Amino acid sequence: MCVGIGLEYFKGYREWRRSISNRRANELAEINTATVALRYNAELFTHFALQNVLPHYDDSHAALKASESIEPLEADWKFLQRCWPTEEARSSSGNA
């Protein structure tokens, strides 16, 4: 009877060690998966920035400088003021 009880304890101990080993292996696999996913996202962001954003950076600044150098026409300026009046124009037109 003592042999049977001893074997049950031994089987329980082996099962406990096996579950710890499996848990550690699963945790390691999850960490590896997270690392791979993080690396993939970083690589995807790098490719997106290098292919889509950076090539147009200088062009965007050149277009902005070119648009700032153009003097607005008086008719265009009046049209813009009618479409989007300033706060002062709204308050003066509302009081009149």
Q: What is the mean pLDDT of the chain?
A: 81
* pTM for the model: 0.40
Q: Which domain holds residue 52?
A: 2-95
Provide the number of structural domains found in the chain: 1
pLDDT tens column, 8-44? 989 999 999 999 988 888 888 888 888 888 889 989 9
Q: Are 85 and 93 in contact (CB under 8 A)?
A: yes
Which residues make Cβ contacts (< 8 Å) with residue 74, sequence separation at least 6? none
Q: How would you write the chain as a 3-class SS string? A: CHHHHHHHHHHHHHHHHHHHHHHHHHHHHHHHHHHHHHHHHHHHHHHHHHHHHHHHHHHHHHHHHHHHHCCCCHHHHHHHHHHCCCHHHHHHHHHC
pLDDT tens column, 34-74? 888 888 998 998 888 888 877 777 788 888 788 778 776 67
